[in-house]
Chain A
Amino acid sequence: MTAQHPAIGEGRSALDRKRRAKGAVFAVLCGAATAVGVLSLAVLLVDVVADGIGSLDADFMTSFASRFPERAGIKAALAGSVWILFLTASIAFPLSVAAAIYLEEYAGEGWISRAIQTNIANLAGVPSIVYGILGLAFFVRTLGFDRSVISGALTLSLLVMPVIIIASQEAIRAVPSTIREAAYGLGATRWQVVSRQILPMAMPGIMTGTILALSRAVGETAPLIMVGAVGFIAFTPDGLRDPFTVLPLQIYNWVSRPQDEFRALAAAGIIVLLALLLSMNAVAIVLRNRYRTRI
C-alpha cells in the first residue's frame, strides 16, 4: 500500500517535493538496514564454507580429535551432540509439556499460577552461562554426577524448558475452546479432554517449539564448558556417567588454537553443526506449515 499524494492544483510545491525526497531516502535507508542483517548472514556462511570445505571429508566425520590436524575429526563431538540432543529432549519435553498443560488447562487465575508464569518468562531471559553455574554447583558437585553426559543434558534441559513451555502454551491456547466444551459436554473428564482432544491438536505446534528449542541446545557451548565437557576426548560416550564433548565445544577448542590448520578444522566443524541445525529447523518449518493448512 503506497501513499499517493493527490496533486492539488497544478504543480507540486517545493515543500511537497522535499517531503517526497525525504521519504524516498528513508525507504532506501530501511531497505539498506534490512540488507545489513541478510548480507552478514551471507558473508558469514560464505566465509565458513570457504575456510572449511577443504577439511570436510569422510575421515573428518569418523576420526577422533588429535594433536595432528590432518588426522583430527569430530567423531566424539558428533556422538556427544547426539547423546545430549536425545537426553535433553527426553528430559525437557515431558516436563515442559506437562507444565504447559497445567498452566493452560488446570491452573486457575490464582497468584500461584501467575507467579509460575512470571518466573518462566524471567527464566527465558537468564544468560545461558548462569545455567552453567547452576549445573556446575548442583549436578556436577552437589549431586556428584561429575563431568558427565547426564550433567550436561540436565543443565541444557533447564535451559530449554522455559522456551518449550512458552511455545507449548501458545499451541494449546490455539486449540479452539469449542472442542473443549464439546468434550466436557459429553461427560469427559479434564484429563480425557486434554489427552484425547487438546494434545493431539496442539502437538504440531508443540513439536515445532520443541525442535527449535533443542536446536538452540545443540548450539550451546558456554553452559557445557561450565559443567566440564572437555574438548579433547578420544572415545564416544557409552553411558550417562561418561565424560563427553559436543560439536560447539570441539569447534571452540579448535578456534582457540593459533594454527591455521586448526582454524580450518573449526570451520569444517561449523559446517557440520550448521547443517545439523538447518535440518532441524527445516523439520520445524515443515511441521509448522502443515499445521497452518490444517486449522
Chain B
Amino acid sequence: MAPDQNVMPSDGGGASTALSIDSDLRFKRSRNVQEQAIGLLLFLCAAVSTLVTVGVVAVLLTETVRFFSQVSVFEFLTGTQWTPAFQEKHFGVLPLLAGSFMVAAGSALIALPIGLLTAIFLSEYATARLQAILKPLLEILAGIPTVVYGYFALTFITPLMRTFFPETDVFNAASASIVVGIMIIPTVSSLSEDALRAVPQVLREGAYGLGATKLEVSTRVVVPAALSGIIASFILAISRAIGETMAVTIAAGNLPNMTLNPLESIQTMTAYIVSVSLGDTPQGTIVYQTLFAVGMTLFVITLVMNILSQWVLARFREEYE
C-alpha cells in the first residue's frame, strides 16, 4: 500500500510568469517523487516487523512439520517421557510442560499477590516522595538480567532452602520459582498500578463520602474498577514466567521430570532448548527438530496468553468519563 498523498498546498499559487510556474511545477514534482520514495522506505521498515513474525512462524513450522513426520502428534502431546537423546527415544512433551507450568505457578503464587499489593501501595497509599524512590528501584529490579537471577537462586536461595529442607536437590523447581517470582513482581506492579491510577478520582471521593475507609475504597471500589488491567497484568506476568529461560536453566536443573515436588530437579521447555543448543546438534537430526517442536509449543502458549491479556483489557475495560 502506498502511503497517503502528501499534504501540500495546491499547485500554481502566485507565480507570475509561465517560466517560473513551469520550474515551480518541476520542483514540486521532484519533491513529490522524493516524498513518495521516503514514504515507501518508511513503510518497508515498518513491514520488517511483520516479516519477523512470518519468519518465526515459517522457521518453527518447517522443522516442526519434519518432526511430526517422524513422531505422532498424539505421542508428543500425551507421552510422559522425554528422552530424545537416549538410545530408547521418547518424545512426550508433558514432563517439560509440567516443569514450565510448575515454575509458572510457583512464581505466580509469589508475584501476583505481592505485585498487586505493591501496586495498591504505590497508587493509593504512598506519598509522592516515596513513589519517587520506590518506582525507580522496581525498575532496576525489572532490568536485572535473568542470568543474574539464576546466579542468585543457585548461590543464595538454594543453600538457604537446604538449611530448612535438607532433602532439597541442588537444582530444584522451588528456587527457580522464587527468583522468577521476584523477577516478575515489577511486571505485575507497574501494569496494575497504571490500571489503578486510571480509575477516576471521583469514584474514590464518592466512596469516602459514603463513609468508607481507605481499605474499603481500595478493595471494593478501585480494584474492581481496574480489574481488567490487573488481570491483564497477571496473564502477561505468567506468560513471561513460562518464557523465562536463564534463571530456570541455572536453578531448576535439566532433568525432565513429571513431579509435583518442588524440591526436585526438573526441566522446563526453555531449559531444554538451551541444553540442546549448548551441544553442537547437527541440522536434520531428530534432536535438532525437537528444538523447533518445543519452541513452537512455547511460542503458541505465550502468544495465546498475550492475546488473551489484550482481549481481557479490551473486552472488560471500564470506560469512565
Instruction: Write the residues of chain A forming the contact surface with B, with a CB cutoff of 8 angstroms.
Output: 2-3, 5, 19-20, 22-23, 26-27, 29-34, 36-38, 40-41, 43-44, 47-48, 51, 94-96, 98-99, 101-103, 106-108, 110, 112-113, 115-116, 119-123, 125-134, 136-138, 141, 158, 161-162, 165, 184, 187, 189-191, 212, 215-216, 218-222, 225-226, 228, 248, 251-252, 255-256, 263, 266-267, 270, 273-274, 277-278, 281, 285
The closest CB in chain A to the CB of B130 belongs to: A34
Partner of A34, one of B34, B35, B38, B134: B134
Is the pair B152, A48 in contact by a Cβ cutoff of 8 Å?
yes
Please, which residues of chain A bring their CB within 8 A of the CB of B141? Answer: 37-38, 40-41
Partner of B146, one of A190, A221, A263: A221
Return the 4 tightest CB-CB contacts between A and B, nearest first: A127-B243, A219-B145, A33-B117, A98-B45
Is the pair A3, B145 in contact by a Cβ cutoff of 8 Å?
no
Q: Tell me the minimal C-beta distance from A14 to chain B in angstroms.
A: 15
Partner of A98, one of B46, B59, B117, B303: B46
Q: How far is the CA of A127 from the CA of B151 in the complex (A)?
A: 20
| B154 at interface by CB-CB < 8 Å | yes
For the A-B complex, the count of residue pairs with Cβ-Cβ distances under 8 Å equals 279
| B4 at interface by CB-CB < 8 Å | yes
Is the pair B46, A278 in contact by a Cβ cutoff of 8 Å?
no
Is the pair B143, A215 in contact by a Cβ cutoff of 8 Å?
yes
Partner of B250, one of A110, A158, A218, A256: A256
**Could you write out 14 A-B pairs with CB less than 8 Å apart?**
A23-B215, A30-B117, A41-B144, A99-B42, A106-B42, A116-B50, A126-B303, A127-B243, A130-B295, A161-B48, A161-B49, A221-B145, A221-B147, A248-B145
Interface residues on chain B, number (Cβ under 8 Å): 99
Please, which residues of chain A bring their CB within 8 A of the CB of B285? Answer: none
Please, which residues of chain B bring their CB within 8 A of the CB of A122? Answer: 53, 303, 306-307
| B231 at interface by CB-CB < 8 Å | no
Of B69-77, B89-97, B119-127, B256-264, the one with at least 4 CB within 8 A of chain A:
B119-127
| B56 at interface by CB-CB < 8 Å | yes
The closest CB in chain A to the CB of B151 belongs to: A255
Partner of A43, one of B113, B126, B156, B240: B156
Q: How far is the CA of A99 from the CA of B1 in the complex (A)?
A: 15
Please, which residues of chain B bring their CB within 8 A of the CB of A108? Answer: 3-4
Q: How far is the CA of A120 from the CA of B303 in the complex (A)?
A: 12
The closest CB in chain A to the CB of B34 belongs to: A191
Is the pair A37, B45 in contact by a Cβ cutoff of 8 Å?
no
Q: Tell me the minimal C-beta distance from A184 to chain B in angstroms.
A: 5
Please, which residues of chain B bring their CB within 8 A of the CB of A98? Answer: 41-42, 45-46
Is the pair A226, B277 in contact by a Cβ cutoff of 8 Å?
yes
On whether A127 and B118 interact (CB within 8 A), knowing A219-B145, A277-B143, A277-B145, the answer reads no
On whether A34 and B122 interact (CB within 8 A), knowing A133-B291, A222-B246, A251-B151, the answer reads yes
Partner of B52, one of A5, A113, A158, A278: A158
Is the pair B140, A278 in contact by a Cβ cutoff of 8 Å?
yes
Is the pair A106, B283 in contact by a Cβ cutoff of 8 Å?
no
On whether A222 and B156 interact (CB within 8 A), knowing A125-B239, A133-B291, the answer reads no
Is the pair A252, B148 in contact by a Cβ cutoff of 8 Å?
no
A36-B118, A133-B291 known; 15 new pairs, CB 8 Å cut-off, are A5-B211, A23-B213, A23-B215, A29-B117, A30-B124, A33-B117, A37-B182, A125-B236, A189-B6, A189-B31, A219-B145, A225-B278, A256-B250, A270-B148, A277-B143
Please, which residues of chain A bring their CB within 8 A of the CB of B243? Answer: 126-130
Please, which residues of chain A bring their CB within 8 A of the CB of B34? Answer: 191
The closest CB in chain B to the CB of A263 belongs to: B155
Please, which residues of chain B bring their CB within 8 A of the CB of A123? Answer: 49, 52-53
Q: How far is the CA of A61 from the CA of B50 in the complex (A)?
A: 41
On whether A110 and B1 interact (CB within 8 A), knowing A22-B215, A222-B246, the answer reads yes
On whether A129 and B298 interact (CB within 8 A), knowing A106-B42, A112-B1, the answer reads yes
Please, which residues of chain A bring their CB within 8 A of the CB of B270? Answer: 127, 129, 222
On whether A120 and B185 interact (CB within 8 A), knowing A38-B134, A138-B59, A270-B151, the answer reads no
Please, which residues of chain B bring their CB within 8 A of the CB of A32? Answer: 117
Q: Tell me the minimal C-beta distance from A225 to chain B in angstroms.
A: 6
| B265 at interface by CB-CB < 8 Å | no
Is the pair A47, B155 in contact by a Cβ cutoff of 8 Å?
yes
Please, which residues of chain B bring their CB within 8 A of the CB of A113? Answer: 46
Q: How far is the CA of A252 from the CA of B308 in the complex (A)?
A: 33
**Interface-centre pick from A34, A43, A121, A278 (highest chain B CB count, 10 A):** A34
Please, which residues of chain A bring their CB within 8 A of the CB of B42? Answer: 98-99, 101-102, 106
Q: Tell me the minimal C-beta distance from A7 to chain B in angstroms.
A: 11
Is the pair A106, B274 in contact by a Cβ cutoff of 8 Å?
no
**Interface-centre pick from B147, B213, B278 (highest chain A CB count, 10 A):** B147
Is the pair B48, A44 in contact by a Cβ cutoff of 8 Å?
no
**Interface-centre pick from B48, B52, B243, B310 (highest chain A CB count, 10 A):** B52
The closest CB in chain A to the CB of B246 belongs to: A221
Is the pair B4, A106 in contact by a Cβ cutoff of 8 Å?
yes
Is the pair A48, B59 in contact by a Cβ cutoff of 8 Å?
no
The closest CB in chain B to the CB of A8 belongs to: B211
| B177 at interface by CB-CB < 8 Å | no
Please, which residues of chain A bring their CB within 8 A of the CB of B140? Answer: 41, 278, 281
